[in-house]
Amino acid sequence: MADKKIWHEKLYCHLGQHFLIDKLLYKNKTDYQEIMIFENSFFGKIMVIDDIVQTTEKDEFIYHEMLTHIPIFSHGSIKNVLIIGGGDGGILREVCRHKNIESITMVEIDRNVVELCKKFFPRHNNNSYKDSRLKLIIDDGLNFIKKTEEKFDLIISDSTDPIKYGKNLFSSEFYFHCKNSLDKNGIFVAQNGVFFLQKNESILAFKKLKKYFHDTRFYHATIPTYYGGIMMFAWGSNNIELRKNSLKNLQSRIKYTKLDFNYYNAKIHISSFYLPQYILNELDEN
Ligand code: SAM
């Protein structure tokens, strides 16, 4: 152990997680961020951006399944999807599994993330960059959403934390334009951090979203390397019925697709919208 390097995450000043670096695979600065990729004997390959864990081979399925299938099975007939960020390809892979989806636009600011993850994390995208429905755009998600005339049924914001360029994807301006780029029954979802440790970020995002979406909620999942408690996924829509599917309805929608999952299922879907009281209190929600 003594001769192995240890990497310490720098997301919080008062506590942190660390990983043994069994093998350093890549470390470099791009025009946007510093990217590091290394092997860890338990989590497999890990990608870190600006010293914050982005994704690991071992637990990525939880995050990518929950950020993708909750809105898709809630809606029931998603045709046009917009992914903002998501350069590791995990969200794209999960979206592409739904054959009824007709078009997928993905807007990632840093082409290097896409190319590096194609090389080091091939199972993340699982060849979905070759999917004929995909339009990959290299741009700041905020620039794109301000300019686009297109309408989407689903917008998934899979960004880094609200730091540097990631900040744009947690701004009121971004949420305003996402709401205007959604169909009337459209859904917006986004990663929103671990509430116990990133409370202020989550509350701020929630308050901003409520200005544009009548039905603003968080749903949650527990992701080992986004440590510190349950992780919040922001949900925004202007049709509350989309979040009220019965267990039976969800089960039949899932059965119809013949898809199988490792984390997501109909009961997890419903239960993920039930939040602990301390979070409801902080959000002034019942
Ligand atoms: N699952 C991770 C998480 O929850 O932290 C996110 C993974 S993905 C690697 C995050 C992506 O967001 C990165 O590829 C980064 O380049 C991209 N990104 C950050 N800010 C962006 C922006 N303003 N527009 C588009 N993509 C952005």
Domains recognised in the chain with CATH numbers: 5-55 (2.30.140.10), 60-283 (3.40.50.150)
Residue 106 Cβ < 6 Å to ligand 1: no
Does residue 231 have its Cβ closer than 6 Å to ligand 1?
Answer: no
Q: Is 141 annotated as a binding residue?
A: yes
β-strands 34-40, 23-29 pairing: antiparallel
Ligand 1 centroid to residue 52 C-alpha, Å: 11
Paired sense of beta strands 103-108 and 80-85, if any: parallel
Best of 109, 118, 157 to mutate for ligand 1, by most ligand atoms within 8 A of CB?
Answer: 109
Using one digit for the tens of pLDDT, what is the confidence trace for 206-255?
Answer: 999 999 999 999 999 999 999 999 999 999 999 999 999 999 999 999 99
Rounded to an integer, what distance in angstroms lies between the CA atom of residue 197 and that of residue 47? 21
Q: Residue 140 in contact with residue 168, Cβ under 8 Å?
A: yes
Quickly list DSSP for 174-213: HHHHHHHTEEEEEEEEEEEEEHHHHHHHHHHHHHHHHTT-
pTM of the model: 0.97
Q: Render pLDDT for 72-83 as a digit per residue (tens, 0 to 9).
A: 999 999 999 999
| Annotation marks residue 158 as catalytic | yes
Q: Does pLDDT of 166 surpass 60?
A: yes
